């Protein structure tokens, strides 16, 4: 097995790792501290990993390694067994919130320097930079995580565009969506600029590329040419990433309650773009990405609950209260769940009935797993 080499493990976002989630609280084997980065928007420094900065674990010829892209602006390669630093990028890429994707030769990630980067896996030399397109958007960051399939990767930016880019030099962009300047009914904070941003990570379902957007729409595109096949109106900011279930030609995606007074929660949508069911959650809705198995869909909410829903009907199996709201995407392996929250707790939970097996405090808020 090659490890978990991109956000949510594969292009459908349905692989969370292998092994066993323990029935008792685990011990911390090692920890690695990143640096700090200051920005104009916060008085305190950014540090650690941001939403959705999931580490990548890559099994390679010379060992197993953990790749992290940090809020301090650097990319790191760590020894999986010891946590010792193997490599750190010389370049500071500004704040990085994107999860890195690792291939045989490259690491791909987006950052707050308004670009997507392809770097050499062994040296972290920058081989290619794909810049944002400057239209009247509220921002131009790349917080979305790249989705790798074959010789291409897909990524959306806060400039409102989705791209497919080759992983074969010279790393040509094969298409971009939309063709015209993105528009939005939502204005961002006090800037009065349209919020068109894409923080959702693209999912691949056969010949379709699916992605949510800040303008309250989910786009279903032809992955080969970027043509719009269908779109679904969620009505509000949709930063959650789609999770594909090819067993019944559907996908799941969360929606926030952000710009308008509507319901936040989880949608199940067909690959034709039709709503199959909707489950309402509280507070500001859902920022995280679901996890699925053959029977259930698991999701964390901003309302402090972890939910288990019936995949077919959307009916509630159970909900378990966490200490705080959660933007962290849950992990579901072998009938057990890992979840985390803003209070800095990591939880082990039984998937069948929602029984909390253990919880441990890891530090400040956790926004990725």
- pLDDT for 189 equals 78
- pLDDT for 192 equals 86
pLDDT in tens, 279-309: 999 999 999 999 999 999 999 999 999 999 9
For residue 86, with 0-12 CB atoms within 10 Å meaning exposed, 13-18 middle and 19 or more buried, which class applies? middle
- pLDDT for 31 equals 95
pLDDT of 84 above 90: yes
pLDDT of 72 above 90: yes
The CA distance from 6 to 339, in Å, is 19
Percent of the chain with pLDDT over 90: 91
pLDDT in tens, 104-151: 999 999 999 999 999 999 999 999 999 999 988 989 999 999 999 999
pLDDT of 32 above 90: yes
The CA distance from 217 to 90, in Å, is 38
Contact 196, 138 (CB under 8 A): yes
Q: Among candidates 321, 329, 319, which has minimal Cα distance to 367?
A: 329
Instruction: For 121-205, list the strands marked E by DSSP.
Output: 126-131, 147-149, 152-156, 162-166, 173-177, 187-188, 193-194, 203-205
Residue matched to tokens 């980065």: 37
Residue matched to tokens 């939005």: 184
The CA distance from 176 to 188, in Å, is 23
- pLDDT for 191 equals 82
- pLDDT for 181 equals 95
Provide the pLDDT confidence category of residue 263 given band limits of 50, 70 and 90: confident
Residue 219: CB atoms within 10 A of its CB come to 25
- Mean pLDDT, to the nearest integer, of 98-104? 97
Q: Coil, helix or strand for 68?
A: strand
pLDDT in tens, 211-260: 999 999 999 999 999 999 999 999 999 999 999 999 999 999 999 999 99
- pLDDT for 237 equals 96
For residue 168, with 0-12 CB atoms within 10 Å meaning exposed, 13-18 middle and 19 or more buried, which class applies? exposed
Contact 116, 108 (CB under 8 A): yes
Contact 303, 282 (CB under 8 A): yes
- pLDDT for 369 equals 80
Q: In what order do the strands lie in the sheet with 152-156?
A: 147-149, 152-156, 162-166, 173-177
The CA distance from 138 to 158, in Å, is 8
- pLDDT for 83 equals 98
Tokens describing residue 170: 């010279």
- pLDDT for 39 equals 83
Provide the pLDDT confidence category of residue 352 given band limits of 50, 70 and 90: very high
The CA distance from 113 to 270, in Å, is 36
> What would you measure as the largest C-alpha separation in the chain, in angstroms?
53
**What b/e string do you get for 237-268 counting C-beta neighbours within 10 Å, with b at 16 or more?**
bbbbbbbbbeeeebbbbbbbbbbeebebbbbb
Phi, psi of 197 (to 5 degrees): -60, 145
């Amino acid at each position: 097995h090659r490890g978990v080499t991109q956000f949510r493990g594969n292009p459908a976002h349905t692989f969370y790792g292998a092994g066993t989630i323990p029935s008792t609280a685990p011990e911390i084997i090692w920890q690695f501290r990143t640096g700090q980065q200051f920005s104009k928007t916060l008085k305190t420094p950014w540090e650690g990993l941001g939403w959705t900065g999931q580490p990548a674990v890559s099994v390679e010829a010379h060992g197993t390694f953990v790749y992290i892209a940090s809020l301090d602006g650097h990319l790191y390669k760590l020894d999986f067994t010891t946590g010792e630093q193997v490599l750190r990028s010389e370049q500071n890429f500004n704040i990085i919130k994107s999860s890195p994707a690792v291939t045989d030769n490259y690491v791909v990630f987006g950052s707050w320097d308004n670009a997507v980067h392809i770097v050499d896996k062994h040296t972290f030399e920058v081989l290619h930079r794909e810049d944002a397109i400057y239209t009247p958007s509220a921002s131009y960051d790349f917080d979305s995580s790249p989705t790798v399939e074959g010789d291409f990767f897909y990524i959306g930016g806060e400039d409102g565009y989705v791209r497919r880019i080759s992983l074969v030099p010279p790393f040509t962009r094969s298409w971009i969506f939309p063709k015209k300047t993105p528009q939005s009914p939502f204005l961002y904070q006090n800037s009065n600029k349209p919020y068109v941003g894409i923080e959702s990570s693209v999912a691949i379902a056969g010949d379709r590329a699916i992605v949510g957007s800040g303008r309250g729409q989910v786009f279903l595109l032809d992955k080969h040419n970027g043509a719009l096949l269908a779109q679904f109106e969620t009505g509000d900011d949709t930063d959650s990433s789609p999770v594909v279930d090819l067993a019944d030609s559907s996908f799941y995606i969360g929606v926030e309650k952000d710009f308008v007074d509507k319901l936040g929660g989880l949608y199940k949508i067909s690959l034709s773009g039709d709503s199959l069911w909707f489950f309402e959650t509280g507070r500001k809705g859902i920022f995280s990405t679901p996890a699925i198995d053959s029977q259930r869909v698991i999701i964390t909410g901003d309302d402090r609950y972890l939910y288990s829903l019936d995949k077919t009907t959307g009916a509630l199996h159970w909900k378990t209260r966490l200490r705080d709201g959660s933007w962290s995407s849950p992990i579901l392996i072998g009938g057990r769940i890992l979840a985390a929250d803003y209070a800095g707790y990591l939880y082990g939970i039984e998937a069948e009935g929602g029984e909390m097996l253990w919880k441990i405090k890891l530090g400040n808020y956790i926004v990725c797993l």
